[in-house]
Amino acid sequence: MIKQAIIPLAGLGTRLLPLTSVFAKELLPMNGKPGVEYILDECIEAGINEVIFIISNKKKIIKKYFYNDKRVIDEYKKIKKYKKMIKFVYQNKPLGTGDAVYKTKNKIKDNFFLMLLPDDLIIKKNCSKAMISIHKKKKCSVMASMKVQKKTVNRWGIYMKDKNIDKNNFFIKDVIEKPNIKTAPSNNAVIGRYILPKKIFGILKKQKKGKGGEIHITDAIRTLIKQNNKFIGHSFEGKYLDCGTMHGYIKSSLEIAKS
């Protein structure tokens, strides 16, 4: 059973500067509701009962949102409900997603857990729920996948596909973080939903810095695949919204307001 989810929230949000020098992008409202609440709702609907937020001292505003204002807590039952299920850990140096995941190592109880990247919203169909259901059948790791334009492959983790399981799922042979267009093995990109095994912490402990001097979760996943751990790519049916840039944020807000 997958009952715990982790959400890395310590990112600097450089793509949304200067706004992110004073505010956490994950709290920016979309149709009146902070982006991170859409992610929390996806978790709750998928049966998750504990969510670990990885924040930093600079992003304590996120904790405040759930904790500080007693009037708000009395007023909005929903925030109280969220608060009960959230734990906080800190990543004060922005060393990458792999390092963020490693910070949760003492909190994870079961053999598998879910990770959601808050810049990636998926609406209309619950991607985490669909991935948990495949995980239940195949008892292995699952990651979300979406076809992207060839010319943008260097912005994503890119899959090398192995055989298909069914129309929405395939086994992964390899995954490469932000390859260049010439060496990219496909245009199937990693989107920010992962079901990862607890044993990834052993790999992350020794993980060296990769592209851009960051510790990438993709590199640790790659090692696990090489060690014969099965990973499935799930082509999700929902609609993907990129909230990591100002253009994406505005477009996503409009899209959510319409839906």
Q: What is the DSSP letter of 1?
A: -
Q: Which residues pair with 34 in a beta bridge?
A: 29
Does residue 191 belong to the site contacting ligand G1P (CB under 6 A)? yes
**Exactly one of 20, 141, 218, 253 binds ligand G1P (CB under 6 A); which one?**
218
Residue 36 touching ligand G1P (CB under 6 A): no
Our finding on whether 97 is near ligand G1P (CB under 6 A) is yes
99 touches ligand G1P by CB under 6 A: no
Strand residue runs (E) in the chain: 4-8, 29-30, 33-34, 50-55, 86-90, 112-116, 120-123, 141-147, 157-166, 169-177, 188-197, 231-235, 239-242
Residue 245 has a CB neighbour count (10 Å cut-off) of 15
- Encoded one letter per residue, x for contact with ligand G1P by CB under 6 A and - for no contact, window 129-158 reads ---------------------------xx-
Specify the DSSP class assigned to residue 108.
Answer: -
In this complex, which beta carbon is closest to ligand G1P, that of residue 41 or of residue 242? 242
Q: Which residue(s) pair with 159 in the sheet?
A: 175
Convert residues 104-133 into a mask of x (bound to ligand G1P by CB under 6 A) and - (unbound).
Answer: -------------x-xx-------------
Out of 190, 204, 225, 256, name the contact with ligand G1P by CB under 6 A.
190
Candidates 26, 42, 177, 219; binder of ligand G1P (CB under 6 A) is 177
User: Is there binding between residue 216 and ligand G1P (CB under 6 A)?
Assistant: yes
> Distance between CA 218 and CA 240 in Å, rounded?
20
Interaction between residue 193 and ligand G1P (CB under 6 A): no
Inter-helix orientation angle 127-138/35-45, to 10° = 40
**Residue from 192, 194, 197, 204 that binds ligand G1P (CB under 6 A)?**
192
* SS3 state of residue 209: coil
Instruction: Give the residues lining the site for ligand G1P (CB under 6 A).
Output: 97, 117, 119-120, 156-157, 177, 189-192, 216, 218
